Every structure is written in structure tokens, then in C-alpha cells.
């Protein structure tokens, strides 16, 4: 993963350098100008908010597309509410860098993996779709997949078990007939053992899978 660090303190840069895995390609910048002069597109930008006379939040509003995702690293937790945007995946305060930054970077890496495309075998073609665009797979006179834009595709030559084996942990079997993308679950109806998807679909969770589904839901919510 290619990571840019836009931080004007060399001490903070060194803290971050010492924490992150060597497998990441790290590039450090002290100013907005240096960052904009770089020819690379970054998977993740670790961004300070106060950059001398410049403001990291205002910079991103003007230049949202040089990086895929952003995690703010700042001493000013009171500005957290102002940082939320579609490609902002978190906020780490500088006094918690050692305990929180690695975990947050790992979450971003998992998110990027979810955006990878997978091949779906349709009756007359193979179509590639992003994992993140899938709501769920279901057995109903064959297997179909429902995408978040409402598209319903019938699959051939695949079983639900085979599909489950190729996907990440974010896809969970909730009953014998349905495999959901858990990142697209809206909430869990604990009383009735059902899960409600973002499109409003209500899916029953089987008794034998309820404990695993509930644990997965709690883990997902607490990791945000």
C-alpha cells in the first residue's frame, strides 16, 4: 500500500515511520506544495490538520482526488466532526498514535481489498464487479447476486459454498440460502433474529448461525 504522510513535524514523522510495517511504501511531506508536486497517486494519506499557515481539512476540500482514502492524524480532536467525508476513514489523535495508528491503517488496507473486483459467471459472459458493490448472494431457483444499485444477476456453474470460499471475512453466511456483504448491513434485529440490509431487505438469520452473525456484527461496529 502506498501511503503519503503530510505532517510538518519531523518528530511526528519519525514516530509514524517507526510504527508502520516496512511492506508499506511511505512518502513523507512537510508542506502541501511538496505533496502536490509528487507524481504519485496514494492509497492512503495520513494528514495533519495544522500545517503551518495551512489547514489540512481545507486542503482536502480543494484537492479530494490525489489519494483514495484519508486518515487524519492530529492533536485537535475537537475538529473531528469537521473531517467527515466519503473518503475519510478515520481520525487518530497524536497522543494515541502508538496504540491506534497501526490498527487504523490495517482497516484501510482491508477496505481497499474489499474494493477489488471479483469475477461473476453469468449465463453468457463473465462480469467483473467490485466486492464493495455487492449486497448479498442468494439461492432462489439457482444463485443470484444483488448489487447495491439494485441490479440482480443470475449466476451459473457456482455454489454458494464456492463463492463464500473466495470472498473475504466481510461476507458472512447468515442462513443456508444467503451470503451477505456485512459491510452493507444496516442493523441487527436482535429480538427477531433478522438482519436489515442498507437497501431495506430483511433477511432471517438461522438459529445455528445466530451467535456467529451477532459476534461479527458487534466486531464490525466496534471497529469503526
Does one domain contain both 108 and 122? no
CA neighbor of 197 nearest in space, from 212, 211, 181: 181
> Pairing between strand 88-93 and 194-197?
unpaired
Most confident of the ranges 56-60, 72-76, 155-159: 155-159
Confidence of residue 68 (pLDDT cuts 50, 70, 90): confident
Q: What is the CATH number of the domain that holds 73?
A: 3.40.50.2300
Same domain, 108 and 144: no
| CB 47, CB 65: distance < 8 Å | no
Can you give the pTM of this predicted structure? 0.57
Last residue of a domain, one of 85, 114, 143: 114
In the sheet that 171-175 helps form, which strands lie side by side, from edge to edge?
152-155, 143-147, 134-139, 178-181, 171-175
pLDDT confidence bin for 76, thresholds 50/70/90:
low
**Mean per-residue pLDDT over the chain, rounded:** 87
Q: Into how many domains does the chain fold?
A: 2
Domain range for 26: 2-114
pLDDT of the residue at 10: 94
Task: Specify the pLDDT at position 135.
Answer: 95
Give residue 224's pLDDT: 45
- Model confidence at 83: pLDDT above 70: no
136-172 burial, b for 16+ CB within 10 Å, e for fewer? bbbeeeebebbbeeeeebebeeeebeebeeebeebbb
Q: Give the residue from 114, 137, 157 where a domain finishes.
A: 114
User: Which tens digits make up the pLDDT trace of 179-204?
Assistant: 999 888 888 999 999 999 989 999 99
The Cα 89–Cα 30 span in angstroms is 22
* Domain match, 12 and 109 both: yes
Residue 30 has pLDDT above 60, yes or no: yes
Q: What is the pLDDT of residue 178?
A: 97
For 1, residues 6+ apart whose C-beta sits below 8 A from its C-beta are: 23, 24, 25, 43, 44, 105, 108, 109, 112
Domain boundary among 76, 94, 114: 114
Whether residue 93 sits in one domain with residue 16: yes
- pLDDT band at 81; cut points 50, 70, 90: low
Amino acid at each position: 500500500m502506498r501511503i503519503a504522510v503530510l505532517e510538518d513535524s519531523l518528530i511526528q514523522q519519525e514516530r509514524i515511520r517507526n510504527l508502520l510495517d516496512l511492506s508499506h511504501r511511505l512518502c513523507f511531506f512537510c508542506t502541501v506544495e511538496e505533496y502536490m508536486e509528487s507524481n504519485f497517486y496514494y492509497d492512503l494519506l495520513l494528514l495533519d490538520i495544522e500545517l503551518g499557515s495551512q489547514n489540512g481539512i481545507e486542503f482536502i476540500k480543494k484537492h479530494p482526488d490525489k489519494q483514495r482514502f484519508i486518515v487524519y492524524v492530529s492533536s485537535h480532536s475537537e475538529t473531528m466532526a469537521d473531517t467527515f467525508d466519503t473518503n475519510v476513514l478515520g481520525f487518530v489523535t497524536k497522543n494515541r498514535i502508538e496504540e491506534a495508528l497501526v490498527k487504523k491503517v490495517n482497516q484501510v488496507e482491508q477496505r481497499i481489498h474489499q474494493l477489488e473486483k471479483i469475477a461473476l459467471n453469468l449465463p453468457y459472459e463473465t462480469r467483473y464487479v467490485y466486492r464493495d458493490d455487492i449486497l448479498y448472494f442468494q439461492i432462489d431457483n439457482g444463485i443470484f447476486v444483488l448489487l447495491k444499485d439494485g441490479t440482480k444477476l443470475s449466476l451459473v456453474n457456482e455454489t454458494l459454498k464456492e463463492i463464500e470460499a473466495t470472498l473475504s471475512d466481510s461476507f458472512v453466511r447468515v442462513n443456508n440460502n444467503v451470503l451477505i456483504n456485512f459491510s452493507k448491513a444496516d442493523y441487527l434485529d436482535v429480538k427477531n433474529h433478522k438482519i436489515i440490509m442498507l437497501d431495506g431487505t430483511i433477511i432471517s438469520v438461522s438459529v445455528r448461525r445466530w451467535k456467529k452473525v451477532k459476534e461479527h456484527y458487534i466486531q464490525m461496529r466496534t471497529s469503526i
